[in-house]
Amino acid sequence: MEVQFTPDVQAKLDQMARDEGRRSDALVQDVVTGFFDELAFAREMLERRYRDIETGHVQLIDGEEAYRRLMAKTEERRRRSA
């Protein structure tokens, strides 16, 4: 498989490969592998969270309540650090 990059992306890739002392194709392969690993992790996490919601292990709160709680925590931290 061949992948064509724009000249600026190719220049960045070449520079990073030089900095790392590696071949650019090996660097690209590592990046793609890492991306797939992170994507699989994110999908597994989302599936677990959806199951938690569906089974009732987690209760949802609406956005306004979440914002209110966040602002209350922020204000409390400001008071403690003042």
Reading the chain (82 residues) residue by residue, the pLDDT tens digits are 889 999 999 999 999 999 999 999 999 999 999 999 999 999 999 999 999 999 999 999 999 999 999 999 999 999 998 7
Q: What are phi and psi of 38, to 5 degrees?
A: -65, -40
Q: Does residue 11 form part of some domain?
A: yes
pLDDT of residue 33: 97
Range of the domain at 44: 7-81
Identify whether 1 is part of a domain: no
The count of domains in the chain is: 1
Q: How many other CB atoms are there within 10 angstroms of residue 21's CB atom? A: 6
Asked if residue 2 is part of any domain, the answer here is no
Planar angle of CA 40, 41, 46, nearest 5 degrees: 100
| pTM (predicted TM-score) | 0.62
